Chains A and B, each alone.
Chain A
Amino acid sequence: MNTVSRRSFLRGASGAVLSLPWLESLAATPVTKVAAPAQRIAWFYVPIGVVRRGFFPGEAETKIPVFQGGNNRRGFVASEIEIPVGENPFPFTPTLEPLEPVIDKVALVTGMDRTYQVGTDVHAQCASCFLSSAPAYSIKESAWPLDRTLDHVIADTVGETTPFRSLEFSCNSHKDNKESIHFDNISWYGTGHVAPSLRDPRKAYRRLFGTQEIEAYRNITDLVLDDARSMKRHLGYADNQKFAEYFDSIRSIEEQMEKMEKLRGSLAEVKMDEPAEAHLPRGEYIRLMGDLMVVALQSGLTNVATFMVGPERWDTPFMYESLFDKPVSHHKMSHNQTKYIDALLEVDRFHMEQFVYLVEKMEGIQEANGTSLLDNTIFTYGSGLGDGSTHQYNDLPIIVAGRGTGASMAGKHLHCQEGTPLADLWLTQAKSMGVAADRFADSVSTVSSLIS
């Protein structure tokens, strides 16, 4: 055997921890072909839904929906044109228009739903549970159907070889302490245990490339781990479970140091300067954070990343420098589509343009075997609300890019049977990344045409 496909290799290991020496011996084997690049996965989360008529095909002339609180299945006026289930031509609706230059690398997916669990705010749940999709009421002692999110489930399989098992990015630059963690995070290690995100470009840069700082940690981690071990005997069962976060964090950092050491050579080739400490217009800020995510995926720092382009709800106005001359609140406007329809469409388009920027960026990066980074990445755009005004959890706006389009869906529109759980897509992606699982959250099946 001259080449080992990384995927079959991972499948064979069925999620077991890969030891580095093994990989090295693999690399040392004389090969005739260049080894296949790592497979990556990333999500681009858009808060507060989209304006349906601007995004979805066949809804341009429908009535602008009025506000409806809570999750409402009858929240929107259905499309006047019945869209056939299955493959359809790609619709260039106003919000999807920016995708034109990358059309052969993306697919629109419609008709997927999540289930809302009564008892928490709609916005809090649509973001925090987007990548969890746990069946309603399945998580005891929590009002949120929030389980270990998909990024971490996948990182359990493909995150062991990289310095960072996963990376979390957010473009929430609000300074006011207004909302709770559930509005601010899509990545969770488990119920009640948030994976906080990088949001300051400078700090993010230093975390990704600052190997010198962490050298100093080596000296103290042994000592504090001993402290932690002896402390465990005073903790009860539940506390001990939570306290595992300490061991895991230290262990992750130690491994990260070792792995970064090994990556030193290729990291030195990364051409990116440390960001200056300065206020950036919103678009530039988002793209800079995006650049950091792309460079992390490109250079082998991680294979798994989440990207939140803004927080849920959070009424504090943002300045969208390129769009409006005054700060506006995306959430507040979303409650009154009739009045703010034009501005909302601009925000939706703006977010789409940022997504396209990243898609193009990934496509422009060539990997060792001649494929692009995008070819080796499942990159998904999505929101936890089907519409910001109706707060519906059904028919969510989803776009898959890169390897996420599967073999045949690139440039097409896949409309799913009504009631298809979003978790079906998540299961499909997990399997594509080598996770040996037959179910994820409330999934019932996989989306066969998107299997890559």
Chain B
Amino acid sequence: MIAKGKFEDLVRPILQSHCVQCHGEDGNVKGKVNLLDIENEKVMMKDPDFLELVMEVIDYEEMPPEDEKQIEAGKRVEIVEYLRERLHVALNSTEKVPHTPIRRMNRFQYNNAVVDLLDLNAVVFPLPERMMRDHSNYFQPASGKMPEKLRVGSRPLGKSQLIEKRLAGVSAFPQDLRAEHGFDNRGDHLSLSPLLMEEFLKLSISIMQSPDMTAKTSGIWKTFFAAPKDLPKEDQEKEVRSRLKPFLTAAFRRPVEKDVLERYVAYAVQSLDSGIAFSETMKGVVSAVLASPRFLYLFDRAEAEAGTKEIDDFELASRLTFFLWGSIPDAELLGLAEKGRLREPEVLRGQVNRMLKDRKLKRFCDGFPAQWLQLDRIISAIPDRDTYEDFFMGQYRLSMHMMLEPLLLFETVLIEDRSIIELIDPEFSYRTVRLQNWYGETPIKEKVSGPTALTMYRVPTEKRRQTGVITNAATMVMTSGPHETKPITRGAWILGVIFNDPPEPPPADVPPLNEKKEEVEHLTLRERFSAHRERADCKGCHEKLDPLGFAMENFDPVGKWREIYENGREVDAAGTLFRKHEFTDADSFKDAVLKEKERFVRAFAGHLLSFALGRELAAVDSPSIDEIVELTTEAEYRLQPMIHAIVQSEAFRLKSSSKDNSLAGNLTGPYLRNP
């Protein structure tokens, strides 16, 4: 009863006096937010996502806008407290965990899973999404240390990098696109069609028919494919069964059911009986396994009754490996799952530690960081060749060097278990000789490497402003046009990537600068933009975006430091972060970001959890995020404890069988083809 009174006494008057003028009254629904819809507390609590949004914008002082009447500080705290309490109550009364829909593996996972299942020492097909190639075997997570010097290549930009061993005669299906503000493993984006199914069928056959599919390439050749010596015909079936049982268990990620096993055994026996040799028969079986939905699909088993339930040990094993290895569980994980021990806290912790030390962790590094940083954008960022001549080296561009820098930083933070704050503010970097010169720091006294395999050296950085994923050259280049920087793009990148709070899509917010050359050539970019910041309909977003983007104005379109524009005007990078922390340049901007450390940690945890679960996060996940942030903070923001915290979180450990997805629901017919 007290709470109900609070809505009427505390919230409604504030909404009336500070909010509804723009969000509800007279058809004004800026940002599509209509606060008049919240008639009472009950209505408010029905939509926890919306409630969370309202709470956050008040808490972060994003609303009301800067030049509007503000909520008095004491009231603000009181309201936020009340809303937070209501949010938790609302969350407890709704479904606990959103369901990640059944989905096929994406291209990257499929490749890794086939490699692991057949123990191949080659890749199945080339994957340009793996942005960095290891040319010196530097990636040794078990050592807990990254080397002082290593050789790497930039896959998408270094064209002659197809030197890794791969299966002849196998071609890939197209790369899966990243979800907007998300990753390429999102359950709601991964579906199947006849076109793709044909590709999968084709793959399952061409992989097994590849001339490379021999004892030299597959580590399971001897135990699985090779014909047993002198085996009497009557023992064939038994032999096949004993080989298929562990194989199918590995492929399908749980002990193979008897009827399934017998079907595959019968298939193999039929093949042998028809005169097909043993090894060829087993290859044929594997082709079928690779096309089976039990291999291709990831899903949580439904429960008989709707509700939230802890995932079983096998589901846990799969979640772990698709998170950290981009692939299927290995025998050790499946063995522990079979014993029902994987869920034991100490066993789980030990396994996660083992996974973090395994070289398969490279797949996590090939997947998460580049997508989190949206690094693929650098592929299409091409500065003007005439203006930035030194950016180009014949057919190559310096962006090849640049894109490797944040990826190696991420790997170092992970392998050496450092604080994620170092992603923003490290005191070291990996750079090539050229890149070090580009930044204008003490030259590395080594030979210039390249053009495609690059030697990178771990160097202590001298200018703080050029370090970390926000201000390193890669980010500055990919958020610029050929001739000019793009403060709004940069601001949007920082909001989305660093604070996990992406603004509305650009077309609704970015009119071009409609201007005549002679009128604007004496202006700074900030002055030119000020016009449309004054427009009321642009203001909301730009108040948030502009300070972030203009803070980067000292970095030109190729990421080099500048203090004056070409027209002689001084760069003005000063601003205020989140209307709280003033800054004057890149260094003090970094300090401002670090004052919002918790917000960054929270955002980063959100990105990582979303990647781990293959779904978008919802308000119901916020208790999990709270917990992850707390545990990570206690561990001085180190990345490995954060990964442990994610694995232990409710969001990771639970699954839900909603009314819509319990076994009780009625089955309907196909919908790819209407009946």
Tell me the complex Cα distance, A231–B288, Å.
Answer: 15
> With A193-B191, A253-B197 as given contacts, are A213 and B509 in contact (CB-CB < 8 Å)?
no
Nearest CB on A from B518, distance (A): 14
0/1 string, B244-268, CB within 8 A of A gives 1: 0000000000000101100110010
A220-B193 in contact (CB<8A): no
| B669: interface (CB < 8 Å) | yes
Q: Which of B196, B291, B514 contacts A224 (CB 8 A)?
A: B291
Across the interface, name the chain B residue whose C-beta is closest to A246: B293
Tell me the complex Cα distance, A231–B103, Å.
Answer: 14
0/1 string, A237-267, CB within 8 A of B gives 1: 1111111111111111100100000000000
A220-B204 in contact (CB<8A): yes
| A109: interface (CB < 8 Å) | no
Tell me the complex Cα distance, A131–B511, Å.
Answer: 28
> With A176-B377, A226-B263 as given contacts, are A249 and B101 in contact (CB-CB < 8 Å)?
no
Across the interface, name the chain A residue whose C-beta is closest to B665: A237
0/1 string, B381-397, CB within 8 A of A gives 1: 01000000000000000
B665-A236 in contact (CB<8A): yes
Nearest CB on A from B480, distance (A): 12
Pick out which of these stretches binds chain A: B62-70, B332-340, B551-559, B656-664. B656-664
> With A242-B101, A253-B201, A338-B514 as given contacts, are A247 and B670 in contact (CB-CB < 8 Å)?
yes
B302 contact set on A, CB distance < 8 A: 234-237, 239
Pick out which of these stretches binds chain B: A92-100, A119-127, A420-428. A119-127
B291-A246 in contact (CB<8A): no
0/1 string, B181-219, CB within 8 A of A gives 1: 000100011011111111001101100000000000000
A236-B662 in contact (CB<8A): yes
B667-A237 in contact (CB<8A): yes
Across the interface, name the chain A residue whose C-beta is closest to B175: A177
Across the interface, name the chain B residue whose C-beta is closest to A193: B191
Across the interface, name the chain B residue whose C-beta is closest to A17: B675
Nearest CB on A from B452, distance (A): 17
| A1: interface (CB < 8 Å) | no
Tell me the complex Cα distance, A220–B208, Å.
Answer: 13
A196-B195 in contact (CB<8A): yes
B192-A224 in contact (CB<8A): no
A68 contact set on B, CB distance < 8 A: 511
A177-B178 in contact (CB<8A): yes
Number of B positions contacting A (CB below 8 A): 79
B291 contact set on A, CB distance < 8 A: 220, 224
0/1 string, A212-242, CB within 8 A of B gives 1: 0110110111011011101111111111111
Tell me the complex Cα distance, A227–B299, Å.
Answer: 15
0/1 string, A136-178, CB within 8 A of B gives 1: 0000000000001000110010000000110010000011111
Tell me the complex Cα distance, A165–B672, Å.
Answer: 11
B669-A231 in contact (CB<8A): no
| A316: interface (CB < 8 Å) | yes
B194-A253 in contact (CB<8A): yes
Across the interface, name the chain B residue whose C-beta is closest to A233: B663
Nearest CB on A from B23, distance (A): 14
A176 contact set on B, CB distance < 8 A: 376-377, 379-380
Tell me the complex Cα distance, A181–B263, Å.
Answer: 37
0/1 string, A310-343, CB within 8 A of B gives 1: 0001011100000000000000000110110000
| A180: interface (CB < 8 Å) | yes
| A86: interface (CB < 8 Å) | no
> Is chain B's interface secondary structure helix, strand, loop, or mixed overall?
loop
Pick out which of these stretches binds chain B: A184-192, A344-352, A355-363, A405-413. A184-192
B175 contact set on A, CB distance < 8 A: 177
Nearest CB on B from A167, distance (A): 9
Across the interface, name the chain A residue whose C-beta is closest to B508: A69
B376-A192 in contact (CB<8A): no
A238-B660 in contact (CB<8A): yes
B568 contact set on A, CB distance < 8 A: none
Q: Which of A119, A164, A214, A241 contacts B671 (CB 8 A)?
A: A241
B507-A391 in contact (CB<8A): yes
Nearest CB on A from B307, distance (A): 12
Across the interface, name the chain A residue whose C-beta is closest to B171: A203
| B301: interface (CB < 8 Å) | yes
Q: Which of B184, B202, B205, B263 contacts A177 (CB 8 A)?
A: B184
| B129: interface (CB < 8 Å) | yes
| A135: interface (CB < 8 Å) | no
B292-A235 in contact (CB<8A): no
| A67: interface (CB < 8 Å) | yes
| B540: interface (CB < 8 Å) | no
Q: Tally A-B pairs: CB < 8 A.
A: 231
Number of A positions contacting B (CB below 8 A): 87
Q: Which of B192, B284, B296 contacts A219 (CB 8 A)?
A: B284
| A31: interface (CB < 8 Å) | no
| B5: interface (CB < 8 Å) | no
Nearest CB on A from B513, distance (A): 9
A238 contact set on B, CB distance < 8 A: 99, 101, 658, 660-661, 665
> With A223-B288, A230-B257, A238-B665 as given contacts, are A248 and B672 in contact (CB-CB < 8 Å)?
yes
Q: Which residues of B in the span 641-675 have a Cβ within 8 Å of any Cβ on A? A: 657-658, 660-675
Q: Which of B294, B512, B666, B675 contacts A227 (CB 8 A)?
A: B294
- Central interface residue in A165, A198, A244, by most chain B CB within 10 Å: A244
Q: Which of B32, B194, B264, B376 contacts A249 (CB 8 A)?
A: B194
B197-A243 in contact (CB<8A): no
Nearest CB on B from A160, distance (A): 9
A236-B263 in contact (CB<8A): no
Tell me the complex Cα distance, A194–B179, Å.
Answer: 13
| A18: interface (CB < 8 Å) | no
- Central interface residue in A69, A165, A253, by most chain B CB within 10 Å: A69
Tell me the complex Cα distance, A217–B208, Å.
Answer: 13
> With A236-B661, A237-B661 as given contacts, are A177 and B376 in contact (CB-CB < 8 Å)?
yes
Nearest CB on B from A137, distance (A): 12
B284 contact set on A, CB distance < 8 A: 219-220
Nearest CB on A from B117, distance (A): 16
| B162: interface (CB < 8 Å) | no
B293-A70 in contact (CB<8A): no
- Central interface residue in A118, A152, A227, by most chain B CB within 10 Å: A227
A250-B670 in contact (CB<8A): no
Nearest CB on B from A164, distance (A): 8
Nearest CB on B from A259, distance (A): 13
Tell me the complex Cα distance, A168–B174, Å.
Answer: 15
A198 contact set on B, CB distance < 8 A: 195
Across the interface, name the chain A residue whose C-beta is closest to B384: A326
Tell me the complex Cα distance, A97–B646, Å.
Answer: 61
A233 contact set on B, CB distance < 8 A: 663
B129-A214 in contact (CB<8A): no
- Central interface residue in A182, A194, A207, A241, by most chain B CB within 10 Å: A241
| A80: interface (CB < 8 Å) | no
B511 contact set on A, CB distance < 8 A: 66-69, 335
Tell me the complex Cα distance, A353–B661, Å.
Answer: 50
Interface residues of B (CB under 8 A from A): 32, 99, 101-103, 128-129, 156, 174-175, 177-180, 184, 188-189, 191-198, 201-202, 204-205, 257, 259-260, 263-264, 267, 284, 287-288, 291-294, 296-297, 299, 301-303, 376-377, 379-380, 382, 505, 507-512, 514, 657-658, 660-675
The 9 closest A-B pairs by CB, nearest first: A237-B665, A236-B302, A236-B661, A249-B197, A248-B672, A69-B508, A252-B194, A121-B505, A244-B670
A-B contacts, 23 of them at CB < 8 A, read A121-B180, A121-B507, A123-B507, A148-B671, A153-B674, A177-B376, A178-B376, A196-B196, A197-B195, A220-B284, A220-B288, A227-B292, A228-B292, A232-B667, A233-B663, A237-B667, A238-B660, A243-B297, A244-B671, A252-B673, A316-B380, A335-B510, A338-B514
Interface residues of A (CB under 8 A from B): 17, 66-70, 118-124, 148, 152-153, 156, 164-165, 168, 174-182, 184, 189-190, 192-199, 207, 213-214, 216-217, 219-221, 223-224, 226-228, 230-253, 256, 313, 315-317, 335-336, 338-339, 391
Taking A227-B293, A236-B99, A253-B201 as known contacts, 5 extra A-B pairs with beta carbons closer than 8 A to each other, sorted by chain A number, are A175-B128, A195-B193, A219-B288, A244-B671, A248-B194
